[in-house]
Amino acid sequence: MPVIDALGTGADGHIFDIEAEFASADHPYNAARRLMDQVQRRYPDKPLAYSPLPVVSNFPALPYTTLNSWTAAAMPQFYTKALGSGTNYPLERLIRIWREWQARWLSPARAVIPVLQGYGAQTAMNLGAEARVCMREYGGFSVWRWDTLTPEMWEAIRNV
């Protein structure tokens, strides 16, 4: 469902999946500008964010800076287990990579709200530890996927 249709149904806001929505575009920056202009004209009060994979060098042509200019927040997907079983991309490395890119951009994200992995090989202990780091570094976090969290995971993030 295109973002315009989703917002038209009454959604409170929209979080763009930057790889899914712009990776196949011939000119991702132009596509992002056109879409953001259209959304802003029709829904100027709707909060917008985008959620990229944090290893920007894997997708250098995507319109990160355009989205930084138009959205309220970036929500990098700090999926430590899915991005290499936690060994290639532990949370501290993902944070460092994201911050290095933010420092390069003329238009960094206005706010950063990390998204932690709540599915697959994730454990309650690891999720709780990552949530504590994100609270310290960013003041908050989100978790994908809420519907797969175990009671132990809920307890681990409840106590952060």
* Count of CB atoms situated within 10 Å of the CB of 28: 19
pTM, to two decimals: 0.92
Residue 15 pLDDT more than 90? yes
User: CATH number, domain at 153?
Assistant: 3.20.20.80
Q: Once rounded to an integer, what is the mean pLDDT over residues 90-102?
A: 94
Q: Once rounded to an integer, what is the mean pLDDT over residues 46-52?
A: 95
- In the DSSP assignment, the letter for residue 124 is H
Structurally, the chain folds into a number of domains equal to: 1
Q: Once rounded to an integer, what is the mean pLDDT over residues 142-159?
A: 94
- Stretch (H or E) spanning 14: strand 14-16
Q: Once rounded to an integer, what is the mean pLDDT over residues 13-38?
A: 91
State the pLDDT at residue 93: 93
Confidence band for 76, pLDDT divided at 50, 70 and 90: very high
State the pLDDT at residue 87: 64
Q: Which residues have CB under 8 Å from 66's CB, separation 6+?
A: 29, 32, 33, 36
Residue 13 Cα to chain centre, angstroms: 14
What sign results for the dihedral spanned by CA atoms 154, 155, 158, 160? negative
Q: Once rounded to an integer, what is the mean pLDDT over residues 127-148?
A: 96
Q: Once rounded to an integer, what is the mean pLDDT over residues 53-74?
A: 93
Residue 1 pLDDT more than 60? no
Two tokens, residue 116: 């932690």
Two tokens, residue 28: 């991702």
Two tokens, residue 41: 């004209």
Domain of residue 29, residue span: 3-158
State the pLDDT at residue 86: 52
The burial of 74, by beta-carbon neighbours within 10 Å (0-12 exposed, 13-18 middle, 19 or more buried), is given as buried
Q: What does the CA dihedral 142, 113, 121, 132 come to, rounded to 10 degrees?
A: -80
